[in-house]
């Protein structure tokens, strides 16, 4: 419903032909399930490679200035009339020369800044896919368990479309995220517990009669939801002139975003849209919630759940659903995982803001601090082109900054006071 460019002249067909189990390979129709009926493995969208190969750079470039320009590579939303969307995406890819110079990166550094999305996080991408799929599958309501950004996005999508929504959040979220979720006038349920507790509760609620007509965006329509993250990978490649960057540093909560950026690159290569140059994906976690980092360090294939703490609340998923798949992508591409503590996270936010003018939320601070760590310990090659993802907006997580940043001077409105403060001689 946002008008930023003329609509494409023809509606491409959906390339999706069903769902496939990532564990056992069993295939299903395009249904509202996220777990395999055979082995309980996670389902993902299965595409017809022929239809994806029919998509061209020119088709994409002629599309709207948002995620729907990639409709030919997505499971739903080919027809604009079907979309339930705030039309996110095509967020800036910001050249970060000043940060690169500080870190000693000589191969080029970019920040993909998803704080520019409508509700100021990358979650608008996945919710636009989930809400569109939900309507197509006949659901009357949407819902989510969320650490905040998803809550904002689901409530805003529901408000624009006039759909009822139910959002469940841990009661101790950052005040900004609570108010932002509540202002849209939808149902907002604060739950006294962790994100993992909230997630368990919504899994139970999804089975009740009252929620039979409700799509839980990251549960029963998760296969469609997760595909929204691919658009971040598509955009990075397109904005680099249809080139895949050598290194990408990605924050990990469930691990899904990292797997989907990698998948986006693989799809662009398979479809003949981008050249097959090598890339490595790096994961970033906070020390307060580092189950994937621990599994990576120990060479495990499975991820052991942890109890999460620390300021990077949007990454605080102690039992990450896509952890094993994230590990696969990191190991297959030759990447690595870093973890950083709260002080480093705050420093990461400040470093990014000071050198690029981009104000990231704590998750972005994690990613920038991990980038620094990976350069310092030699696991990331400073001579190769690198993209770092900022997935959210600093205004949502002010609390950790309030004690450490503020005015540099305080004066009366007089030259005399300015002089006393050393601003003039």
Q: Which is nearer to its own copies, 299 or 407 (CB)?
A: 407
Cβ count near 285 (within 10 Å): 30
Question: Least separation, in Å, of the C-beta of 241 and its own copies?
Answer: 8
Q: How far apart are CA 116 and CA 114, in angstroms?
A: 5
SS (H, E, C) 359-395: CECHHHHHHHHHHHHHHHCCCCCCCCCEEEEECEEHH
Question: Least separation, in Å, of the C-beta of 198 and its own copies?
Answer: 6
Q: Are 218 and 76 in contact (CB under 8 A)?
A: no
Q: Which is nearer to its own copies, 2 or 277 (CB)?
A: 2
Q: Which is nearer to its own copies, 76 or 169 (CB)?
A: 169
Q: Which is nearer to its own copies, 317 or 401 (CB)?
A: 401
Q: How far apart are CA 54 and CA 70, in angstroms?
A: 12
Q: Which is nearer to its own copies, 27 or 417 (CB)?
A: 417
What is the DSSP secondary structure assignment for residue 80, as one 8-state letter? G
Q: How far apart are CA 339 and CA 283, in angstroms?
A: 9
SS3 208: coil
Question: Least separation, in Å, of the C-beta of 20 and its own copies?
Answer: 32
Question: Least separation, in Å, of the C-beta of 219 and its own copies?
Answer: 15
Listed in sequence order, the residues at least 6 apart from 402 whose beta carbon sits closer than 8 Å to its beta carbon are none
Question: Least separation, in Å, of the C-beta of 103 and its own copies?
Answer: 15
CA distances from 95 to 6, 357, 358 (A): 28, 11, 11
What is the DSSP secondary structure assignment for residue 25, as one 8-state letter? -
Q: Which is nearer to its own copies, 166 or 282 (CB)?
A: 166
Q: Which is nearer to its own copies, 259 or 316 (CB)?
A: 316
Question: Least separation, in Å, of the C-beta of 228 and its own copies?
Answer: 16
Question: Least separation, in Å, of the C-beta of 391 and its own copies?
Answer: 16
| DSSP result, 100-160 | HHHHT--S-EEEEEGGGSTTSBTHHHHHHHHHHHHHHTT-SEEEEE-SSHHHHHHHHHHHH
């Amino acid at each position: 419903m946002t008008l930023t460019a003329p609509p494409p002249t023809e509606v491409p067909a959906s390339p999706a032909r069903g769902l496939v189990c990532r564990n056992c390979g069993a295939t299903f129709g395009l249904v509202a399930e996220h777990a395999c009926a055979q082995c309980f493995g996670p389902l993902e969208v299965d595409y017809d490679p022929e239809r994806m190969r029919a998509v061209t750079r020119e088709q994409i470039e002629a599309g709207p200035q948002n995620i729907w320009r990639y409709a030919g590579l997505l499971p739903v939303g080919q027809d604009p009339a079907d979309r339930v969307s705030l039309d996110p995406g095509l967020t800036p890819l910001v050249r970060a020369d000043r940060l690169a110079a500080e870190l000693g990166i000589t191969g080029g550094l970019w920040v993909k800044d998803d704080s520019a999305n409508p509700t100021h996080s990358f979650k608008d991408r996945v919710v636009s896919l989930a809400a569109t799929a939900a309507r197509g599958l006949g659901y009357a309501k949407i819902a989510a368990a969320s650490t905040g950004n998803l809550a904002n996005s689901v409530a805003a999508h529901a408000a624009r479309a006039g759909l009822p929504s139910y959002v469940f959040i841990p009661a101790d979220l950052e005040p900004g995220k609570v108010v932002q979720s509540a202002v849209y006038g939808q149902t907002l349920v604060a739950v006294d517990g962790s994100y993992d507790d909230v997630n368990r509760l919504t899994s139970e609620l999804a089975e009740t009669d009252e929620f039979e007509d409700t799509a839980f965006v990251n549960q029963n329509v998760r296969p469609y939801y997760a595909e929204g993250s691919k658009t971040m990978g598509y955009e990075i490649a397109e904005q680099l002139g249809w080139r895949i960057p050598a290194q990408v540093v990605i924050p990990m909560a469930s691990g899904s975003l990292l797997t989907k950026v990698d998948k986006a690159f693989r799809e662009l290569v398979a479809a003949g849209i981008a050249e097959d140059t090598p890339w490595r994906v790096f994961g970033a976690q906070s020390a307060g919630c580092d189950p994937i980092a621990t599994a990576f360090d120990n060479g495990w294939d499975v991820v052991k759940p942890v109890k999460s703490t620390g300021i990077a609340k949007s990454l605080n998923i102690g039992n990450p659903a896509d952890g094993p798949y994230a590990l696969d992508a990191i190991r297959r591409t030759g990447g690595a995982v870093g973890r950083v503590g709260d002080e480093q996270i705050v420093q990461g936010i400040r470093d990014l803001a000071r050198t690029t003018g981009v104000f990231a939320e704590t998750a972005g601070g994690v990613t920038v601090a991990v980038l620094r760590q990976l350069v310092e310990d030699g696991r990331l090659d400073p001579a190769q082109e690198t993209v770092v993802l900022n997935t959210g907006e600093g205004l949502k997580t002010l609390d950790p900054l309030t004690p450490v940043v503020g005015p540099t001077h305080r004066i009366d409105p007089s030259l005399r006071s300015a002089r006393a403060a050393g601003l003039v001689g």
